[in-house]
Amino acid sequence: MATADVDAVVVGAGPGGSIAALLLARGGARVALVDKATFARDKACGDLVGPRALALLASLGLTAPDGREVGPMVVVGPTGRHVLLPARQGLTYPGHGLAVARLRFDEWLRAAAIEAGAEPVTARVAAVHGNVVELDDGRCLTGDVVIGADGANSRVAASAGLVDPTAVLWGFAQRAYVDQRVERPIIALWDRTPRRGFPGYGWLFPGADGTANIGLGLGLRTARADARLAVAHFDEFCDHLRHVGLLTVPVDGPRLGGWLKMGMVGTVAARDRIFLVGDAAGLVNPLQGEGIAQAMISGAAAANAILNSPGSAAARYRRQLSTSFGRYARIAAPIHAAAISGSRQRVSRLTRALTSPVIGPAIAAPWAVTWNDLIDGAPPGPATTAARLAFAVGRLATARSPIRRQIDNDLADLEALR
Ligand SMILES: Cc1cc2nc3c(=O)[nH]c(=O)nc-3n(C[C@H](O)[C@H](O)[C@H](O)COP(=O)(O)OP(=O)(O)OC[C@H]3O[C@@H](n4cnc5c(N)ncnc54)[C@H](O)[C@@H]3O)c2cc1C
């Protein structure tokens, strides 16, 4: 078996892995960037790159590929009533996101990492033994550190014993492209049967090229077999969008599904020389499904911890996640779990109330800041104050949640301390 030695083996060249590889290579490290796919490769996604991802790219001097700037988002309730969530510029992020196909975005970011000096390797990782990464073509790569950026079903996380699949908050979503011009991103909260809320949501997002991205996703907790519901009910959801006047064209293109691993539950993000970033670390926002920004920011955080604190990088990285995404996940993950497991009637009542003409507009601004996890860096003002208040109430309401305790334990890596 041939063995190659590098400073860092990064497994997965999605947004998380490519940013980690780029920063490590810029810092002078020898990096192998391994992916099982030949790029450009597709990825099931709504194709919306959020404001914090754009801020990170700007801070690294990178200009994202051409896409369509997207600002305020429309949330449509089960009855067709809607609320406009504003997109306000923050102190640390722009007031817009970017719609760009993952096929292009991920290829561009991976090319930037390679240009910075990362060595591309096309192979599937079969297992990780300590800091030795075994590829399925028989080769092995040895790195001082290994970064698992290999997505929701991370081989690195499983192989290194860093994930407890029975504790993870799983989600699944399917998307297709349609030939319809859409002006604003639309989130559709849906009652599949009258007055029983679907345990997820659907979307119709603008694309860069006059097409739109349509999708349906749901939270599963640990019942992964129910992922089939996103596929089984997709056409019904499209009919619903037609019924409320949002979809005007047939949905006949290929459909692609993918897993979401949310809320940081059941995953230890780093131990010894192994680091997990992005979906591998379960960083998807459990309230609205965003994960590209989290993948890129965590990729940068892992790379910086490795470059700046080689002796204590794992603990430093976990601490950093704890004070950033962890603060949000401790509240959002228990709320997500309660909404998925709770009464469908209650969820329907809640979504109708949130999109009612009285309540919706009154809470739209703090709602946008809170569920997009944009409180840190939000500009001062009434919306930010209200969002902070909602966050404080959420903290109190979830104080005794076992899910929150699990996140705390994982971030402290209690297992390793025993
Ligand atoms: C349908 C859907 C819609 C979504 N919409 C949005 C959205 O609009 N905006 C948003 O911000 N987020 C969205 N998300 C979440 C987002 O797609 C992810 O959070 C994001 O892709 C995470 O990036 P990553 O780098 O961690 O992993 P990924 O992008 O999943 O990249 C992982 C890479 O690892 C490679 N890999 C996997 N296993 C191996 C292996 N064993 N060996 C070698 N390579 C391997 C894969 O080929 C892949 O290239 C959506 C998710 C789904 C499923």
User: In Å, how far from its chain's centre is CA 406?
Assistant: 20
Q: Ligand 1 within 6 A of 148 CB?
A: no
Reported confidence tier of residue 1, pLDDT bands at 50, 70, 90: very low
Pocket flag, ligand 1, residue 46 (CB < 6 Å): yes
pLDDT of residue 124 exceeding 90, the answer is: yes
Q: Span 374-381, mean pLDDT? A: 97
Up-side HSE of residue 399: CA atoms within 13 Å toward CB?
4
* Ligand 1 centre distance from Cα of residue 218 (Å): 16
Return the minimum-mean-pLDDT range out of 1-5, 379-383, 396-400: 1-5
List pLDDT tens digits, range 42-64. 999 999 999 999 999 999 999 99
276 touches ligand 1 (CB under 6 Å): no
Mean pLDDT on 258-275: 97
Question: In the structure encoding, which two tokens stand for residue 356, read together?
Answer: 């009612």
Closest atom of ligand 1 to 47 CA is 8
Would you place residue 413 in the very low, low, confident or very high pLDDT band (cuts 50, 70, 90)? confident
| pLDDT (mean) for 245-272 | 97
**C-beta neighbour count of 259 within 10 angstroms:** 19
Q: Give 368-397 as a 3 state SS string.
A: HHHHCCCCCCCCCCHHHHHHHHHHHHHHHH
What pLDDT does residue 414 have?
Answer: 75
Cα dist from 380 to 88, 89, 229, 301, whole Å: 11, 11, 42, 26
Tens digit of each residue's pLDDT (9 = 90 or more) over 160-173: 999 998 999 999 99
Going from the Cα of 291 to the center of ligand 1, the distance in angstroms, rounded, reads 8
The proportion of the chain whose per-residue pLDDT surpasses 70, expressed as a percent, equals 99
Q: Is 349 in the pocket of ligand 1 (CB under 6 A)?
A: no
User: What is residue 3's predicted lDDT score, i.e. its pLDDT?
Assistant: 59
Tell me the angle at which helices 292-308 and 313-323 cross, rounded to the nearest 10 degrees: 140
Task: Report pTM.
Answer: 0.98
Q: Tokens 């603060």 appear where?
A: 327
Does the beta carbon of 175 sit less than 6 angstroms from any atom of ligand 1? yes
What's the pLDDT score for residue 416? 73
- 2-11 pLDDT, tens per residue? 556 999 999 9
The token duo for 213 is 């991205």
| Spacing, Cα 221 to ligand 1 middle (Å) | 19
Kindly report, residue by residue over 179-220, the tens digit of the pLDDT: 999 999 999 999 999 999 999 999 999 998 889 999 999 999
CA of 211 to the centre of ligand 1 (A): 22
User: Span 68-80, mean pLDDT?
Assistant: 97
Cα 271 to averaged position of ligand 1 atoms, centre (Å): 22
Evaluate if residue 305 carries a pLDDT over 70: yes
Mean pLDDT for the chain overall: 96
Domains of the chain in sequence order? 1-69+93-167+260-418 (3.50.50.60), 169-259 (3.30.9.10)
Kindly give the distance from the C-alpha atom of residue 279 to the centroid of ligand 1, in angstroms, as a whole number. 7
pLDDT of residue 417: 67
Confidence bin at 418 (pLDDT 50/70/90): low
How confident is the model at residue 208, as a pLDDT?
87
* Percent of the chain scoring above 90 in pLDDT: 96
Strand (E) positions, 180-291? 186-188, 191-193, 196-197, 200-206, 212-221, 255-262, 270-271, 274-276
**Rounded distance, CA 109 to CA 123, Å?**
19
Q: Reply yes or no on whether the pLDDT at 342 is more than 70.
A: yes
Looking from the CA of residue 258, the nearest atom of ligand 1 is 53
* 131-148: pLDDT as tens digits: 999 999 999 999 999 999
Question: Taking residues 91-107, what's their average pLDDT?
Answer: 98
Residue 209: the pLDDT is 86
